[in-house]
């Protein structure tokens, strides 16, 4: 691995969205889907809640994040942060199966990128991570007999799980943006794949560097935009 990696810090954040209701009608079998976006590195739970609502309504662009279609190419500066503000990627997951229950621990996560290779974080507990829902005797989500788990229970069978998903932010500290871009120029993509009950679904961001002198301006604009998102609640 290149020696310049020794002086670089990237943070992979694996977290889950929290929600307690379901408004979507689901069919039989395992259904997975991902949505991707850039959110403020220091977003509040209220910000994440708006994204959850948007996902449930089928309008992911309506949440307090910058939504991107899967496979989009965006400036690498979108995931830079300077320790007090900046952005991070999110590849969210919704997993639902009304026929065959599954557990949080059974969800397989594979993160691949052009710098660090691949990693496979695991999920063991809903605590501070997300929510699982057992549809109850009626077999329907969003009804009064649902059983919701928000802590522990990583091995408890459920019918649905919502995850904030894998996220990436690159801490550049006080390094000038152009120097940070040069250091991270080989970070060209990151792909996140979730698998459960033999069904897989992937989300990917492709990253590009922008030649000077516009990079610093783009980073500043990005920070302003993310700051506005943070305030818009």
Residue 6 has pLDDT above 80, yes or no: no
For the chain, what is the mean pLDDT?
81
pLDDT tens digits, 41-81: 999 888 987 877 777 677 889 999 999 999 999 999 999 99
User: Which band of pLDDT confidence, cut at 50, 70 and 90, is reported for residue 150?
Assistant: confident
Predicted confidence band of residue 9 (pLDDT cuts 50, 70, 90): low
Query: Which pLDDT score, from 0 to 100, does residue 12 have?
Result: 54
Q: What mean pLDDT do residues 191-197 have?
A: 94
Q: Over pLDDT 70: what percentage of the chain?
A: 76
pLDDT of residue 8: 54
Residue written as tokens 């290149």?
2
Residue 73 has what pLDDT? 97
For the stretch 92-140, pLDDT in tens is 888 999 999 999 999 999 999 999 999 998 888 877 676 788 999 999 9
pLDDT, position 13:
53
The answer to which of 21-30, 41-50, 60-69, 187-196 has the lowest mean pLDDT is 21-30
Residue 50 is predicted with a pLDDT of 81
pLDDT for the residue numbered 4:
45
The pLDDT value recorded for residue 226 is 53
Domain boundaries defined on the chain: 3-231
**Higher per-residue pLDDT: 198 or 78:** 78
């Amino acid at each position: 691995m290149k020696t310049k990696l020794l002086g670089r810090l990237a943070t992979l954040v694996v977290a889950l969205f929290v929600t307690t209701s379901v408004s979507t009608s689901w069919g039989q079998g395992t259904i997975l889907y991902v949505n991707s976006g850039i959110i403020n590195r220091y977003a509040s739970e209220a910000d994440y809640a708006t994204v959850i609502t948007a996902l449930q309504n089928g309008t992911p662009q309506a949440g307090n994040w910058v939504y991107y279609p899967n496979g989009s190419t965006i400036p690498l500066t979108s995931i830079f942060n300077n320790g007090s503000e900046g952005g991070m990627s999110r590849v969210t997951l919704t997993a639902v199966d009304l026929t065959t229950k599954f557990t949080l621990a059974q969800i397989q996560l594979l993160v691949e990128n052009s710098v660090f290779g691949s990693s496979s974080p695991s999920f063991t507990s809903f605590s501070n991570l997300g929510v699982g829902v057992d549809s109850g005797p009626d077999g329907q989500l969003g009804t009064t007999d649902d059983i919701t788990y928000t802590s522990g229970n990583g091995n408890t069978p459920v019918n649905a799980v919502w995850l904030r998903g894998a996220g990436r932010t690159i801490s550049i500290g006080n390094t000038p943006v152009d120097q940070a871009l040069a250091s991270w120029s080989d970070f060209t993509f990151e792909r996140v794949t979730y698998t459960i009950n033999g069904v897989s679904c992937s989300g990917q961001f492709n990253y590009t560097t922008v030649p000077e002198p516009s990079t610093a301006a783009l980073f500043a604009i990005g920070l302003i935009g993310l700051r506005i998102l943070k305030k818009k609640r």
